[in-house]
Amino acid sequence: MNQYTLSVIQRVRQKYADEPEFVQTVEEVFSSIDPVIEANPAYEKADILNRMVEPERAFIFRVCWTDDNGKLHTNVGYRYQFNGAIGPYKGGLRFQPNVYPGVMKFLGFEQTFKNALTGLPIGGAKGGSDFDPAGKPDAEVMRFCHSFMNALYRFIGPDVDVPAGDMGVGGREIGYLFGQYRHLKGCWENGVFTGKGLSYGGSLNRPEATGYGAIYYLQEVLKHEGESIEGKTIAVSGFGNVAWGICKKSAQLGAKVVTLSGPDGYIYDPDGVTTREKLHYMLEMRAADPMHVKPYADKFGCKFIPGEKPWGEKVDIVMPAAMQNDVKMDSAKKIADNKIKYYIEVANMPTTNDALQFLMEQDGVIVAPSKAVNAGGVGVSALEMSQNAERLVWTAEEVDERLKRMMVNIHAESAAAAEEYGLGYNLVAGANIAGFKRVATAMLEQGIF
Ligand code: 2IT
């Protein structure tokens, strides 16, 4: 490895040893762009890698709120504005008890390259809180969101930083957050959030966008291999918004998702999550209780496997869509043993670095990285910003058409970037290289700061 790349990775390992998720993503991205650093001394001269590792700025704030019994609670809120070289900071908010700087920073760092891959002018950010919205009544969630926004509103804006949802932050939370922002600022500025409700400036197809985009990307991979999605079986983890979009689009295209998973285990439905009733029930079940997927098995009479992940099932395609580090070495080995050809990451960093490396080294396994596969979500967020700025509303077909084009481009650009450096059809390296180059070029052109 290039001396400079290595020295930055080592510095990050040492300095951020207490933020392992962040170290993991820096190692993954920088080792795959190493050939670019080696070929272009200008990056080292401008110390691009060390600059990319440090967020441009970050905010950490106290969030106090009262529950329905009048009891006071204190949480911590975060917003890491990682890199604004190519556009206003953009990225989701995650509300989950395990949120801490290491999680925020891995997501913000990833977001920077992902957003660059969309080809749209959005910088990278991430934020959130260790607050747990699961099972909380609307009034408590509203008070929390209002308090969160009281601290954050001065640091965001349509040309500054545009948050959206992530795990634990859906339409309900975005509504309360935007409402408080509008109240405090005394103006509309509706481009300041994406994933808004349709009644106040949201984009058609935003809820579906991440899952649909993932399937459009998958179709490009299959096309590259001379195959089609029709008749394929897919193992998915998670049962949130993203999994739902994957189920819906793959059903439309004649494929079927046969597994979903939750913290309690996974379900196996040999008929696939394909019918309108099943798709609708997924949303209902998730809204009622994000911790259990078992109710699906009870309702539709299929298998529920408690405490396990779905990675031992024999399917054509695997799509981890739940959370980070969902697929570790033991699961990767099962996937390889089952001769599954398509490993399509969807959630942010769903694979540990050793498992990812292992899968990429397997003959006949194609690995697609999440920062490309799930980029349609934030991509459609950027389309929502465009619609808001222009004060108009595109039809679902218009949005879908643009999303499709975006995913086709991301796949083609990633494949071309890897090819340029003699790496073959390496979508992981290609996505990192293409995203890195776009951000690095903008940083070089803007001078040192
Ligand atoms: O991880 C992600 O890309 C998101 N949570 C969506 C971010 C966005 O701004 O739409």
> Over the stretch 362-384, which tens digit does the pLDDT of each residue have?
999 999 999 999 999 999 999 99
In this predicted structure, the answer to whether residue 449 has a pLDDT above a threshold of 90 is no
Q: How many CA atoms lie within 13 A of 209 on its CB side?
A: 31
pLDDT of 387-436, one tens digit each?
A: 999 999 999 999 999 999 999 999 999 999 999 999 999 999 999 999 99
Domains and their CATH numbers in the chain? 56-188 (3.40.50.10860), 209-373 (3.40.50.720)
What is residue 76's three-state secondary structure?
strand
The closest residue, in CA terms, to atom 10 on ligand 1 is 378
**What is the predicted pLDDT for the residue at 318?**
98
Question: 411 and 221 in contact (C-beta within 8 Å)?
Answer: yes
**What is the predicted pLDDT for the residue at 190?**
81
Test site for ligand 1: of 80, 111, 192, most ligand atoms within 8 A of the Cβ? 111
What is residue 306's three-state secondary structure?
strand
Question: 313 and 337 in contact (C-beta within 8 Å)?
Answer: no
What is residue 265's three-state secondary structure?
strand
How far, in Å, is the centroid of ligand 1 from the Cα of 110? 10
Of 346, 414, 117, residue with least CA distance to 209: 346
In this predicted structure, the answer to whether residue 195 has a pLDDT above a threshold of 90 is yes
pLDDT of 299-327, one tens digit each?
A: 999 999 999 999 999 999 999 999 999 99
Our CA dihedral for 45, 48, 51, 53, rounded to 10 degrees, sits at -140
How far, in Å, is the centroid of ligand 1 from the Cα of 218? 19
Question: Taking residues 86-99, what's their average pLDDT?
Answer: 98
The closest residue, in CA terms, to atom 3 on ligand 1 is 378
Atom of ligand 1 nearest to the CA of 115: 3
Distances (CA, A) of 292 to 166, 260, 298, 357: 19, 11, 11, 31
Q: Which residues participate in catalysis according to the annotation? A: 126
In this predicted structure, the answer to whether residue 278 has a pLDDT above a threshold of 90 is yes
How far, in Å, is the centroid of ligand 1 from the Cα of 171? 13
Atom of ligand 1 nearest to the CA of 206: 10
The closest residue, in CA terms, to atom 9 on ligand 1 is 91
What value does the CA radius of gyration of the chain take, rounded to a whole number of Å? 21
Question: Taking residues 159-171, what's their average pLDDT?
Answer: 97
How far, in Å, is the centroid of ligand 1 from the Cα of 2? 32
**What is the predicted pLDDT for the residue at 191?**
84
Q: What is the largest CA-CA distance in the chain?
A: 62
Cα 143 from chain centroid (whole Å): 26
How far, in Å, is the centroid of ligand 1 from the Cα of 25? 17
**Burial zone of 229 (CB within 10 Å; 0-12 exposed, 13-18 middle, 19+ buried):** buried
Contact residues of ligand 1, CB 6 A cut-off: 90-92, 164, 166, 194, 348, 377-378, 381
Atom of ligand 1 nearest to the CA of 94: 5
- DSSP codes, 345-376: --SSS-B-HHHHHHHHHSTT-EEE-HHHHTHH
> Please, what is the Cα angle at 51 between 49 and 54, to 5 degrees?
110
Test site for ligand 1: of 99, 381, 384, 410, most ligand atoms within 8 A of the Cβ? 381
Distance CA 412, CA 409 (A): 5
How far, in Å, is the centroid of ligand 1 from the Cα of 126? 8
Question: 209 and 247 in contact (C-beta within 8 Å)?
Answer: no
Atom of ligand 1 nearest to the CA of 375: 3
**What is the predicted pLDDT for the residue at 442?**
98
pLDDT of 101-128, one tens digit each?
A: 999 999 999 999 999 999 999 999 999 9
Atom of ligand 1 nearest to the CA of 374: 3
Test site for ligand 1: of 114, 161, 378, most ligand atoms within 8 A of the Cβ? 378
Cα 169 from chain centroid (whole Å): 13
